[in-house]
Every structure is written in structure tokens, then in C-alpha cells.
Amino acid sequence: AHVIEGASEVYVKLTDKREFKAKVVGRDAKTDVAVLKIEAKNLPKVNVGDSSKVRAGEWVIAIGSPFDLENTVTAGIVSAKARDTGDFVPLIQTDVAVNPGNSGGPLINMRGEVIGINSQIYSRSGGYMGISFAIPIDEAIRVSEQIKAGGKVSRGRLGVRIAELSKDIAEQIGLPKVQGVVIAQVEPGSPAEKAGLRDGDVVLKFNGQVIEKPVDLTRAVGALKPDTKANISVWRNGAQREVALVIGEAESDKTAQKADKKSKKEIANSLGLTVTDLSDAQKRDLQSGGVVVEAVDGAAAAAGIMPGDYILSLNQLEVKDAKQFAAIVAKLDPKKAAVVLVRRDRVSQFVLLKPQQ
């Protein structure tokens, strides 16, 4: 898709010197796949392989036009499968020499079958440095079929922003092992909000699939069609629960609104936090309870909490107001770490507050 980006006209040139003006049927920037259509006869074709059967170590060749050098063939091996360099496509990594001008060309196995489309390189100079990436042909065909059918790719949408779960946070919230991803933000009006998902929930499984890292959830949701029913397992307040929801359709992020930071009553505590009650505008913006941070010191400052942050929970107890928050802090063991759910710029994350030495 990046090859035709910004083009007003697109032409396809064949090795027999024929040239055709192409119609752009559609493109999908997320997978870097585009579909072109030309009106022609007696076209050469290639055999399509099965990218799911690709093995690390097998020999492959790439064909392209690096630096306008037409029909250049380079060879190498598959270095790794399913490399996570993008949200929606696990790419094939090779050491085949690929340079600007190779994009869109085929990656071919020793049986003469196309198993990928050359798409990216890793480089600090702009040229080949021993690492290149190809879109698996199975994924490219799946995307192209959707484009041919409707001119675009439809993806499922949950309406959340997610973050990785660290070992320290997993221990503090009682998870038996480090598994899942943290919901950092639930978008208002999204399928996630309608289903009752909250900031700080840890997603363990999606439709039975174990979620180990953020890209797992992104791909699992994106692979579903809009209006599909799904089940999600989350860890909340020390227990696992099941949530049923209906997947929405992927769309652009909504513009985040700035929170009103007017405060009322200030209450300081031993964690190094000076907090205040939320204003009415802040309550409407958060759509939940919590407190706003006025000043930081000690453990809070060391953990990176800043004035203006919101505290939504402490040790998995939901925070309602400054008075209740102070009461929870008063019962804490000063020798043990505490975990708070902090929201900043509409994104929530767990923060570990360690005792100061």
C-alpha cells in the first residue's frame, strides 16, 4: 500500500514491456496491502504457496526493482516467523537483501511458490542492513478478498487502549502468573464500555484465546467482523470474571477532551500524595469516582506520578473521594508496596509505589 500512497495515477509494467493503467480497487495501510486491477489478456502468473508452512532456515528469494534495477533477484533464508513489527500482521523476517524499490515484490520459496510480499526493512542508514520483512501471502490474500468484495477491510473494535502487564503489578493484584494485558483506557460509548469493562481490568482471554501481550488482543479483536458476539475473561479486584460483548467496527480515535482540574478539598497522605475531590466536570469526564493529585512527594514522586493525575483505585479498592482515599492509606503497611491505578491524558495504568528507604 505504501508504494501507491499519494499517487494520482498508477501503472503496471510487465516484463514483456506492456504497460497498463491500473485501477486502485482499495488499500489497507494497517497491513500495507493494496489491490490493483488491470484489463489485459495472456498475463503471466505465479503459484501461491502456504505461508503457514514456512520454516525458519529455509531458503527464499526476492524479486523486485531496487534503485530502479528491474527484475533483480536476491536470496537468503527465513530468519523468523510471525515477527511482531505491526499491530495486525505478524511478518516473515528474512536476511534477503531488500532495498527501496523491492516493496510489493514477491518472496518465493524453493518450490517457486510466493509465500510473502516484501514490505519493510530494518535500517539505520535507509539501505539494507541484513534484516527484511515480508507480509505473509495468506494474510495478503485474506485482506485482498475483503478489498475486492467491498473496497475496504472491516475489522472488529473493542474501544480500549491497552498496555503490557509487568511482573510486579501482576503480583500486587494477585494474579497467579504474569498473563494478560491491562486496559489503560475505555473509550466512552464503545463496545467495551457498554459491556462494563473498566480501566485497570486485566484481559486474560478473548474468545478462549490466551492473551499474553497487547498485540494478541489487537489481532484477535481485529480478526472478527463487526456485530460479532464475543466473550472476554478479565481479572478485576482479585477475581476472574467473564464478560459478554458485541464487537464494534474499527474507526478513528475520538479527540480526547481535556479534564477540568479545579479542585475542592485537599488531603495529604503517607504515600507522598496530596489529593483533592473531583469537580463535577471531572466526574462527568471520568464517569467514575476517584481523586485528583495536587502535589507529589516521596514514593509517589519516585514512581513518576504528577500533579493533575487521577487516582482511580488503591490496592484494587475503588477510590470514591479524598476522605475515603485517606482512610485506605491510613490502614496500609508502610513497609509494603502499594499499587494505584493512575489516569493521565485519558489513559490509565497501574503504578507501583515502593516504600522509601
d(CA 357, CA 354): 9
Residue among 28, 32, 199, 216 flagged as catalytic:
32
Residue 112 in grid coordinates: 517457486
Q: Are 115 and 109 in contact (CB under 8 A)?
A: yes
d(CA 90, CA 54): 13
Residue among 28, 51, 103, 309 flagged as catalytic:
103
Q: Are 116 and 78 in contact (CB under 8 A)?
A: no
d(CA 29, CA 285): 32
Please name the residue that has the C-alpha cell 474507526: 251
Does the annotation mark 103 as catalytic?
A: yes
Does the annotation mark 2 as catalytic?
A: yes
SS3 7: coil
Question: DSSP H helical segments within the chain, as ranges?
Answer: 137-150, 167-172, 191-194, 214-222, 280-286, 298-302, 322-330
Q: Are 225 and 250 in contact (CB under 8 A)?
A: no
Burial 133-165 (b: 16+ CB within 10 A, else e): bbbbbbbbeebbebbeeeeebebbbbbbbbbeb
d(CA 196, CA 201): 10
Q: Are 182 and 349 in contact (CB under 8 A)?
A: yes
Residue 172 in grid coordinates: 500486587
Which positions are catalytic?
Answer: 2, 32, 103
